[in-house]
Amino acid sequence: MAELDTSGGGGKKGGKVRSKKQSTRVDLTAMVDLAFLLVTFFMLTTTLNKPKAMDLAMPDKDEVTKEQLPVKASQTMTVLLGKGNKLEWFIGVPGESLTPPATENYGKDGIRKVFIEQAAKVKQATGKDILVLVKPSEKSVYKNVIDVLDELNITGIRAYAIVDITPAEIDLLKRDGLF
């Protein structure tokens, strides 16, 4: 095998004196330790996003009461959730619709505007707050229910209920192409 002679020239007189070439080696242990300390520090000191949840009052499972409080049709708004991110609403209860059904979108220019207008009309006419019945259909998605609950929360309507949709209301959605 060949060997590399790294000696200083061996005893020859009059030659140039050369220094030994040594390989450079950098120890990265301290840098790795510092990196892990920084990562640990920032993980422990940052605040994580806290989940945002809306309070929802649900009845107790133990208290099963069949009695219902009477609600006037003039104080009630029924919202039917259909397919394609559309909904239909009317003032009244099933079978006693006081206004013709209207189709709306979600958002501030859609159902939020309707909630604000109708709540003001009911408050002016009856002196009481409006009650909103939210009725999701099989064709609506969970996001639609959450959107309606968010709009109710934004508009300050505190009296609402999520109830089952009736076959007559499904027929109404089918008639308007929302089922």
Using the structure block, give the residue that is written with the tokens 């003001």: 120
Backbone angles phi, psi at 160, to 5 degrees: -150, 160
* Alpha-helical runs (H) found in the chain: 29-45, 111-126, 142-155, 167-175
Which neighbouring-strand residues pair with 81?
87, 136
HSE value, Cβ hemisphere, 13 Å, CA-based, for 139: 16
Share of the chain above pLDDT 90, in %: 45
Which range has the worst mean pLDDT, 30-39, 68-77, 84-93? 68-77
For CA atoms 48, 54, 55, 57, the dihedral sign is negative
Per-residue pLDDT at 147 exceeds 80: yes
Mean pLDDT for 87-91 is: 94
pTM, entire model:
0.65
Better-predicted residue by pLDDT, 21 or 138: 138
DSSP state of 121: H
3-class secondary structure, 104: strand
Percentage of the chain modeled with pLDDT above 70 = 83
Q: What is the pLDDT of residues 8-56, one digit of tens each?
A: 555 556 667 777 777 777 888 889 999 999 999 988 888 777 777 777 6
pLDDT at 1: 44
What are the chain's domains?
Answer: 73-175 (3.30.420.40)
Higher pLDDT, 156 or 1: 156
CA–chain centroid gap for 4, Å, is 70
Q: How many CB atoms lie within 10 A of CB 35?
A: 11
Q: How far is 171 from 179, CA to CA, in rounded Å?
A: 8
